[in-house]
Structure 1
Amino acid sequence: MQAFKQKLRDRHTVSLINADHSCAGLVDFVCRLGIDAIMLDCEQGNPSFVDVEDMARAAALHGVSSIVRIPSVEPWTIERYMMRRIDGVVIPRLDTAAQAEKAIADIRYAVPADFPDKTIIVQVESVSAARDLDNFLSIPEVDCFFIGAVDLAKSMGFSGNYGHPDVVAELDRIIARIVAKGRSVGFMVKENDMKSWQDKGASMLYAHVNDFLHMGARQWRSLAGFAAEHKS
């Protein structure tokens, strides 16, 4: 079993970094920084199938898991990505556990021999999915439940504002229910909220490489003593 998958199963703190750019060289560099897994975002990003293959190979050189967020759950979409020699998938756009089970069955069909080693992360990002959470939690093949806070807030009628008190309360309830079942929770974290989401139970910490760049740039400017007008 790949290390990232096992760490998710054991609820160890792990990092999943969205590469944000379709560049194998960037993946090669980021994977030297001690991350656990790199996300190749084919739902919101623009990697081609060739890009996915090249980026996955770059991650493999450093023993880092390559995880593709697929754009949709059609069987042919799943099969094309799974045959790119990736280490696992994030499955978005799910409203019911039955949809997740169907997608997992299609993954098993695409890579039957390697299926036990593939990481499977499902996103919980809609009111419908939250209502069906108990059934999601009954699926043994899922390694992590990744809460899509922005889309959940949109589904709740708050235009993606996951800082709204009603959304925060729902997020807290979802996390508590997942943790109570001994399952892994994934959450998008920022500089100012990472610790608070960890304290609530998130163990897979998801971030964009663009945020890494902003954090590094701010520290660099601070150390170099740049004037305030240079700050973004």
Structure 2
Amino acid sequence: MPAPLNTFKKALAEGETQFGCWMSLAEGITAEILGGAGYDWLLIDGEHSPNDIRSIRDQLVALKGSNSHPVVRVPVGETWIIKQVLDAGAQTVLVPIVETAEQARELVRACHYPPNGTRGVGYAVGRVSNFGQMENYGPTADAQICLLVQVETKTGLDNLDEILAVEGVDGVFIGPADLSASMGYLGQTNHPDMQVTILAALKQISDSGKAAGILTPNDEMIQASLDAGARFVAVAMDIALLLNSAKAVSAKWKAKTG
């Protein structure tokens, strides 16, 4: 049995738009709930959320059988953590703060088995091969791994063309918050200068043939990003969904009795 088809990677390669939700609550049960909410992809955040390899695994387990494809953002672009999340069953990895083509090439190698890469060969005891029961996983795995890199600094933006030329990078995600901070607009992602910069970067990515991605809950920015060529767009965040809904219900009933 070969490695499962990566439907998210296939959709991006075919130019389909994929809408996602950012998961920061770091719990299997919330992943399971969101897995039935209709999103094309769900981001398990290992960078800014209290996730470790066990909680990442638990969320991957919770999403097994879901129509929502799990994307795992690792905390840093290091071979060891990429190896762990792949062995835990992730097929799509998002790596933060990628600034050079050389860095991107090393990340591609981290996602592939030798002789083409540096991924450790331990799939026989990993969840990724159903603990050795998927006998043909190794020879078929590389083709189903989807690597997404985040460009979110001025240096990364300056090197965007070179990063886009790296074979094996499936998509480039623009990180609005970090990019704005890097360019002197901390906390001002909606500043007109940043809007122009972000949308131009998305168009540059799309024009290169790579998939462009972004996270924004703002309806106008979502549409502008789609118009600029974005094809994997996170349109919601689990914490914001919970908080905003809870506050709205609380305010509604307090207003009725106040």
Q: Given the two structures, how large is their TM-score scaled by the length of structure 2? A: 0.80
Q: 2:38 touches 2:67 (CA, 8 Å); kept in 1? A: no
State yes or no: 1:75 paired with 2:79. Answer: yes
Question: Which structure 2 residues correspond to residues 46-65 of structure 1 after superposition, within 5 A?
Answer: 46-65=50-69
Q: 89, 92, 109: which one pairs with 1:88?
A: 92
Question: Which structure 2 residues correspond to residues 199-210 of structure 1 after superposition, within 5 A?
Answer: 199-206=227-234, 207-210=236-239
The equivalent of 1:198 in structure 2 is 226
How far apart are 1:218 and its partner, in Å? 7.3
1:117-174 per-residue CA deviation (whole Å, 9 max, x = no partner) reads 1221110101111111111111232222110011111111111312222222211221
1:182-206 per-residue CA deviation (whole Å, 9 max, x = no partner) reads 3211111214332222222222111
Question: Which structure 2 residues correspond to residues 7-156 of structure 1 after superposition, within 5 A?
Answer: 7-108=11-112, 109-110=118-119, 113=139, 114-156=141-183
Q: 2:200 touches 2:228 (CA, 8 Å); kept in 1? A: no
Q: 2:19 touches 2:41 (CA, 8 Å); kept in 1? A: yes
How far apart are 1:102 and its partner, in Å? 0.4
Q: 1:152 touches 1:160 (CA, 8 Å); kept in 2? A: no
Residue type matched to 2:211 in 1? Answer: S
State yes or no: 1:176 paired with 2:196. Answer: no
Is the alpha carbon distance of 1:61 and 1:97 closer, same or farther for their aligned partners in structure 2, counting shifts above 3 Å? same
Q: 2:21 touches 2:39 (CA, 8 Å); kept in 1? A: yes
Between the aligned partners of 2:247 and 2:18, the Cα distance in structure 1 is 24
Q: 1:97 touches 1:129 (CA, 8 Å); kept in 2? A: no
The equivalent of 2:184 in structure 1 is 157
Between the aligned partners of 2:247 and 2:166, the Cα distance in structure 1 is 42
Q: 2:24 touches 2:48 (CA, 8 Å); kept in 1? A: no
Task: Give the number of aligned pairs.
Answer: 228
How far apart are 1:115 and its partner, in Å? 1.9
SS in structure 2 of the partner of residue 158 of structure 1: coil
Between the aligned partners of 2:204 and 2:9, the Cα distance in structure 1 is 21
How far apart are 1:220 and its partner, in Å? 6.2
Q: 2:151 touches 2:174 (CA, 8 Å); kept in 1? A: yes
The equivalent of 1:211 in structure 2 is 240
Q: 1:38 touches 1:59 (CA, 8 Å); kept in 2? A: no
Between the aligned partners of 2:162 and 2:256, the Cα distance in structure 1 is 52
Instruction: Write out the 4+ residue segments of structure 1 that deviate beyond 6 Å after TM superposition.
Output: 218-222
Q: 184, 188, 193: which one pairs with 1:166?
A: 193
Q: 2:199 touches 2:224 (CA, 8 Å); kept in 1? A: no
Q: What's the C-alpha RMSD, in Å, of the aligned pairs?
A: 2.3
Q: Given the two structures, how large is their TM-score scaled by the length of structure 1? A: 0.88
Is the alpha carbon distance of 1:170 and 1:99 closer, same or farther for their aligned partners in structure 2, counting shifts above 3 Å? same
Specify every segment of 5 or more residues in structure 1 that has no aligned partner in the other structure, as ranges.
none
